[in-house]
Amino acid sequence: MSSKFSRLDFLRASALGAVAMTFPTLGSAAEATKKAKKTDANDFINLAFIGLGQQAIHLKNGFITIPDVRIVAACDVYDIKRNRFEQQVNAYYAEKGIKQKVDMYVNFEELLAREDIDAVVIATPDHQHARIAIAACKAKKDVYLEKPLTFTVYEGQRLIEAVRANNRILQVGSMQRSMNEFIHAANVVREGRLGKVGLIHAYVGEGPKPYNLPKQEVPAGLDWNLWLGPLSEKFYYNHEVVPLITPNGGDECWGAWRWYQGMGGGFTTDWGAHMFDIAQWCIGKDRTGPCEILPPAASWHRCLTFKYDNGIEVIQKDFGEGQAVKVQGENGWIIVGRGKFKASSPDLMPTKVDQQAMYETNPGHYQAFINAIKSRRDPNVPVEIGHSSCTMCNIGNIAYELNRPLKWNPIVEKFMADDEANKLLHYDYREPFKLE
């Protein structure tokens, strides 16, 4: 057994109760790569970050407070993001009197070569998720991966294979699954308290739009080729796609790549990975999926509609509660959103709603990942569930693009007798980028 696995065994047995230490200052990235694995009795969970934009800062703020976690390395293709992350992490450890420095990388392959890294947090744009996460699994790193899981359905299939073939822990960043109101909603429905469910409204927003931002000169500190990765070179730089940093240290906006077809999946994937996920969780379909998708033009609902083999319909519709989910049963209804819960009857209400909780820094979701690493048991959002929720989003966008009804087989994950639609389950990577 490798020292890595025995180290995790030690963590399980000791619960870290008997050991405390400080780490020596790490040298250069090249030197750190050569460092031997630490001994079992002197161990924390060594964590690295890949992708250092705004979401990564939220994730860092949560993970860094877990006592048995050390952030030892980070990677981004943009120097301003690396500099910000390095300064914040080093300042935190200095304030706490912890002798720990974070090493910075441009290429994620160099970071993954570090034998002392136990797990990685991947918060890159969606189109980089699959190939980095698969590489991390092959490097025997556990993975916390931002949602949506992957950019395409095929990538998700390959990622599941990599996770299971390499015996890795993968936690999806679907933090709503660790929030009281959403847990309660799923329990209410799955326990049958609404009776038979026939209809769910899940509002997420619109699909992606054509890329129309003005072309700008690439800043000197950004490796645009690495940022694009497998995407087509037809996509050019604009500062909204890779946001600048404001004087107060935040990104000037959420990366706009998510709103444009071919770069991202619009609100369908950005919010669908949250709200569609909750809808499928409630009805016990979070490891499978719908069997038919209707675009607005093909439905009397005039909305994106998903039909399931049990007769339930999930409709992407604005019902006046923002991004939220409404479940309608024969005995009543519930509405759940972030910091929000409404019901047709008081006895359906939860005892607590996280109205003041910061969604982006939900400590329970981060701790679940660390606990899973130690126990070697699946976290509350494993790769298969992340893939199912992401697939629902992606096939919804395919229905938007083709503008016609689609029949989907959730078992084999293909459209039925529809070559045109099946061709959209993946795209050709730009050379030399590959999905290993």
Say how far residue 57 (Cα) sits from the centre of its chain.
Answer: 14
Residue 217 counted as domain residue: no
Q: What is residue 436's predicted lDDT score, i.e. its pLDDT?
A: 78
* Residue 72, φ and ψ in degrees, nearest 5: -115, -15
Residue 153 counted as domain residue: yes
Q: How many CB atoms are closer than 10 A to CB 265? A: 27
Please say whether the beta carbons of 193 and 331 come within 8 A: yes
Residue burial 306-345, b: 16+ Cβ < 10 Å; e: rest: bbbeeebbbbbbeeeeebbbbbbbeebbbbbbbeebebee
| Whether residue 150 sits in one domain with residue 187 | no
The Cα 6–Cα 112 span in angstroms is 20
Q: What angle (nearest 5°) sits at the alpha carbon of residue 209, between those of residues 205 and 210?
A: 175
Spatial CA neighbour of 385 closest among 311, 317, 295, 288 = 288
Spatial CA neighbour of 268 closest among 358, 399, 402 = 399
Q: Write down the pTM of the prediction.
A: 0.90
Task: Find all residues with CB under 8 Å of 71, minimum gap 6, and list them.
Answer: 47, 48, 49, 60, 63, 64, 89, 100, 102
| Whether residue 398 sits in one domain with residue 313 | yes
| Whether residue 352 sits in one domain with residue 287 | yes
| Whether residue 197 sits in one domain with residue 131 | no
| Whether residue 146 sits in one domain with residue 193 | no
Helix (H, G, I), strand (E, B) or coil at 376: coil
Residue 243 counted as domain residue: no
Residue burial 117-131, b: 16+ Cβ < 10 Å; e: rest: bbbbbbbbbbbbbbb
Residue 239 counted as domain residue: no
The Cα 219–Cα 381 span in angstroms is 37
| Whether residue 191 sits in one domain with residue 157 | no
The Cα 414–Cα 350 span in angstroms is 39
Residue 81 counted as domain residue: yes
| Whether residue 132 sits in one domain with residue 36 | yes
Residue burial 221-254, b: 16+ Cβ < 10 Å; e: rest: ebebeebbbbbeeebebbbbbbbebeeeeebeee
Please say whether the beta carbons of 100 and 74 come within 8 A: no
Q: What is residue 269's predicted lDDT score, i.e. its pLDDT?
A: 98
Residue 171 counted as domain residue: yes
Residue 124 counted as domain residue: yes
| Whether residue 112 sits in one domain with residue 56 | yes
Spatial CA neighbour of 374 closest among 12, 48, 3, 2 = 12
What is the side-by-side strand order in the sheet with 332-337? 340-343, 332-337, 324-329, 197-203, 313-316, 304-307, 292-294, 406-409, 414-415
For β-strands 119-122 and 45-50, DSSP reports them as: parallel
**CATH number of the domain residue 306 falls in:** 3.30.360.10
| Whether residue 396 sits in one domain with residue 338 | yes
| Whether residue 409 sits in one domain with residue 317 | yes
Q: Which long-range contacts (CB under 8 A, 24 or more apart) does 15-22 make?
A: 16/44, 16/67, 16/68, 19/43, 22/98, 22/99, 22/100
**CATH number of the domain residue 101 falls in:** 3.40.50.720
| Whether residue 186 sits in one domain with residue 88 | no
Q: Please list the pLDDT of the chain residue by residue as tens digits (436 residues).
A: 333 433 444 344 333 333 222 222 333 444 444 443 443 434 899 999 999 999 999 999 999 999 999 999 999 999 999 999 999 999 999 999 999 999 999 999 999 999 999 999 999 999 999 999 999 999 999 999 999 999 999 999 999 999 999 999 999 999 999 999 999 999 999 999 999 999 999 999 999 999 999 999 999 999 999 999 999 999 999 999 999 999 999 999 999 999 999 999 999 999 999 999 999 999 999 999 999 999 998 877 778 999 999 999 999 999 999 999 999 999 999 999 999 999 999 999 998 776 555 555 567 899 999 999 999 999 999 999 999 999 999 999 999 999 999 999 999 999 999 999 999 999 999 999 999 7
Domain boundary at 175, 194, 219, which?
A: 175
- Domain assignment of residue 87, given as a range: 3-175
Q: What is residue 179's predicted lDDT score, i.e. its pLDDT?
A: 92
Residue 261 counted as domain residue: no
| Whether residue 326 sits in one domain with residue 181 | yes
Number of domains in the chain: 2
By the 10 Å C-beta count (0-12 exposed, 13-18 middle, 19+ buried), 422 is classed as middle
Q: What angle (nearest 5°) sits at the alpha carbon of residue 386, between those of residues 384 and 390?
A: 115
